[in-house]
Amino acid sequence: MNTILILYTELMPYNVAVIRALIKKDCRVHVVLQDTDKKTPYYPSEEEGVTYYKRSSFAKVSHLYMLVKRLAPDLIWTAGWLDPGYNKVVGAVRRKMHIPVVAGSDTQWRGGRQWLNVFTAFFRHHRWFSHLFVAGEWQMEYARKLGFREDQILKHNLSADVDLFTRIDLSVREKQYPRRLLYVGRFSKEKGLNYLLEAWKSIPDKKGWRLTLIGNGPERDKLCNIQDVEVLDFMDQSALLLEMTVSGAFILPSVFEPWALVLHEAACAGLPILSSNRCGAVTCFVKEQGNGYLFIPDNVFSIRRSIEKLITAGEGNWLRMGKNSRKLSLQITPEKVAETLLTVLR
């Protein structure tokens, strides 16, 4: 049995799906997770094979290092390099314990201040981590610029709970196709909801389609009392599954999104997808006209044009695109993520 220690930030339900996959592969998993300044109210429930620790309970880096020594893990998986405490701990681990330390990264290469990381990677990233585990194609470029070799870069570190969202029977939509366009995510400026709503209001004939927004965040008050727009609170994944079941398409207008795992969830649910072309996950889960349409996120005309393409495509195309989404969703699963992580132990 392998012991895996995960040093994470804010854990989400899709992370738990990967942890369960690790447990099924005969691993004992320990997770240190952020419990303060959280963006969502989610906190994982206890289950066999995994032990959770609150990040706030480790007042000093030395306390966290003592946990590592006590657990004697075979592998450490850390959520990137934004937590200085985690970096100090894994740096000590690399010097003294000589076990693999894998850093997750969903960060796209954008230049600018990232060049500082490139210039200092030999003294920092390469002393902290043995491998980088990246989300997808656009993250690979950054990993290479940081000087990690191809054999030190693992791909597809994030997965939706595929088993959950593929429970939706796509044939249900053949009986009466739901004309409901769904958004799920934070209600915040970077999500581009203001552009979406402007585009939505500018469409004179929506052909019976309505827009539903699910989430929470600082922009919520600006979303209420808009015609043909329904606003629902953040909900757990079982409830979200029901909402996706009665939806006909998904939209994500983010001005910028490193990955956007919700696109994977929507693909699993068999939904046609409209997405900003700046979301990293479109490389896997959105194929133009195959299962949806891409648009420029801060361009109202571009968003409107994509919505109009969808609502005029017709039921036959909606069903076809939904089936294509389901096929694309199976490229990445929690089991594949777990298997890829464990390759560093071979």
Same domain, 14 and 144: yes
Domain of residue 85 covers 2-159+333-345
Same domain, 210 and 289: yes
Same domain, 37 and 128: yes
Same domain, 155 and 180: no
Beta strand pairing call for 273-276 and 292-295? parallel
Same domain, 189 and 49: no
Contacts of 282 (CB under 8 A, 6+ apart): 260, 263, 275, 276, 294
CATH value at residue 272: 3.40.50.2000
pLDDT tens-digit readout, 287-321: 999 999 999 999 999 999 999 999 999 999 999 99
What is the model's pTM? 0.93
| CB 28 within 8 Å of CB 53 | no
Same domain, 62 and 29: yes
What are the residue ranges in the chain where pLDDT is below 50?
none
Same domain, 212 and 224: yes
**CA Rg value for the chain:** 21
Among 191, 333, 169, 337, CA closest to 241: 169
Q: What is the pLDDT of residue 32?
A: 96
Same domain, 268 and 341: no
Q: What is the pLDDT of residue 228?
A: 84
Same domain, 303 and 204: yes
pLDDT tens-digit readout, 143-173: 999 999 999 999 999 999 999 999 999 999 9
Q: State the Cα–Cα distance between residues 333 and 17, nearest whole angstrom.
A: 9
How many independent structural domains does the chain possess? 2
Same domain, 103 and 206: no
> What SS3 state is found at 53?
strand
| CB 128 within 8 Å of CB 103 | yes
DSSP classification of residue 46: P
Neighbours of 232 (CB within 10 A): 15
Largest pairwise CA distance in the chain: 66
Same domain, 150 and 199: no
Same domain, 150 and 197: no
Q: What is the pLDDT of residue 69?
A: 96
Neighbours of 119 (CB within 10 A): 10
